[in-house]
A and B are shown apart, each in its own frame.
Chain A
Amino acid sequence: MKMRDRVDHLSDQELVLAADGELSGERARHLAGCESCRARGEKLKNAASLVRMHPQLPAADFARMRLRARLVEAAAEPDVEQFWLRPWYGVAVGAMALMAILGILVRTHRPYEVPSPRLTPGAARTMDRDTLCNATLPKNQMVPADLRQRVFQAYGIADADPRKYEVDYLITPALGGAEDIRNLWPQPYVSTVWNARVKDELEDRLRDLVCGGRLDLAEAQKAISTDWIAAYKKYFGTERPGR
């Protein structure tokens, strides 16, 4: 009989569950009718209160005021989620880094359809129209090797294949352009629509217009040095080169 009583009584673990209202069925009915179990349950509850700490705590006023101020501040900030904690963030960062590297590589070998205004603003000799038109001026005079190399370096393509580029005069000597690094840039022969051969066509057209008295020399120089592609479209009346 004694053994049976011991088996039927609730274990301490069951008493913990009972305190949380998580005991049901037969065991809950036993507890309701067993004074001994209820007394043990009370002892366990009281035991929990014995381990409660009683430190001297500062009044809550200051802490509450501080929290209120911080909440107001937090509410005013945009709700930016800490997305770097998300699993996809690492993948996204990796992809962006790869794109940035590819971008640098592409830029390194990017064909320069138009020169950098900073590196190649254009430079011209002082020359009037009659002198220009009566002189036999080369369309593209040879650029010295060291100057060519400086141009390539300035554009960050020092190791590029020189056969693929013409180090071109932005303002052609045939229009008074100077042999000056500020008037030179590496223009690709092929691979782009607006290549060196297309610009040669423009240079011929502008010289014809200037020497034919239909275009002011300074205006021609300005047009070709500001945006030679726009100038081509304007003086050929087309959006794309013919060949």
Chain B
Amino acid sequence: MNASEPSNPPPNEAVNIMKDNLPARHAVGKVWNVVFLLSTVFGIVILLILLGDISNKAFGYVAIEAKVQPTTLTASGTPLEQLSKDQMIVILEENLSKNRVKTLIKEEPLEERSKDDLLSIVVAEVVKPKVKKSWPLSESLFNKEAVLAEAAKTYPKAYVEFRNWLSRDFISSPQSSDALYAGVRTAILGSLDVIFLTILFAFPIGIGASIYLQEYAHDNWINRIIQTNINNLAGVPSIIYGMLGLTIFVRVIASLTSGYMFGYPNSDPNNGRTILSAGLTMALLVLPVIIINAQEAIKAVPNSLREASYGIGATKWQTVWSHVLPNSIPGILTGTILSVSRAFGETAPLVIVGAATYITFDPNSIFSKFTTLPIQVYQWTSRPQDEFRNIAAAAILVLLIVLLALNTIAILLRNRYSRRLP
């Protein structure tokens, strides 16, 4: 504002002991406004770069070279898709070893298999396509000619296609040693199972502990020490929790966590590397954060509400159950959602607790061996072949999508059950 404008009252010289610094004060405000805006923009830009980088690897051209050209398999040179079941059985019997054919028949007689099933076996075991090179999305989109020219020149026998690594097959297939057929189904199921157990253990225990500390515990030195320790535990590196989980859940109570105690088939009483151990370890990891967040939420419930409840003859438990908890549950859930999201992406403790890195069967109980999405990503990124980088990127996208879905459900539930405070 300009002080000389006629709308401003004329300065009273006798009374005016303040400096005429309003423009300067507004200027300072504007500077900070810009600083805050830039911080937000910075965060968003970094996030976009991250997403762009991942997407860049998850889609793009690939040059695939087959060990056996599909058209050479039959005399007529018909494409594989147009072959009949009988023709494919002939191809399998001609090209595979006798033992392999026997094994396949043992699993299911070839004649009884579906056409799609036979086709996939032919492709995987006879044609054996192999990724020679994959190009990132940016080059595939903006430099298509160069990519195609390079592919034609370097890999004359290969065929080039635009590949979406994040395909439906990728999500529904189990793990495989070949990147073209590898999928994340086992990892998704493993992650969901582990996180379900984590919530199951950590949520009730965390709320219980926070209610005790906030509503029941007296302010004495023992409780202050407990409080300080919980705050410190929230900052302990996750790998330490992994070591704790290894010692306690995988080793000491292995007969319980392996399912041996309950007569789970094929369980090793000395090896508790199971979903149960992982879930318990993750629960320990998120517990301090859940407790601290829940305590803050309980603290935010106004005391006037507690007094109102006590004032009409409510007991402590009735007050906590009917007023403190319902009014703090949105805050408690927010804290839980945040910490569980972190746990969903945790890798280090699970590596220590012993998530299997190569596993092709779905987890079918809490005593199963397992792998998780972050473990899978970690494993694939450390492989030297290019194409594993592609499926790692696709797996990261799956991880983000699953996380987003879980959080959306949790937030919708929270908003549905939250209430307005006085």
Please indicate whether A and B come from the same complex rather than being unrelated chains: no
Interface residues of A (CB under 8 A from B): none
Interface residues of B (CB under 8 A from A): none
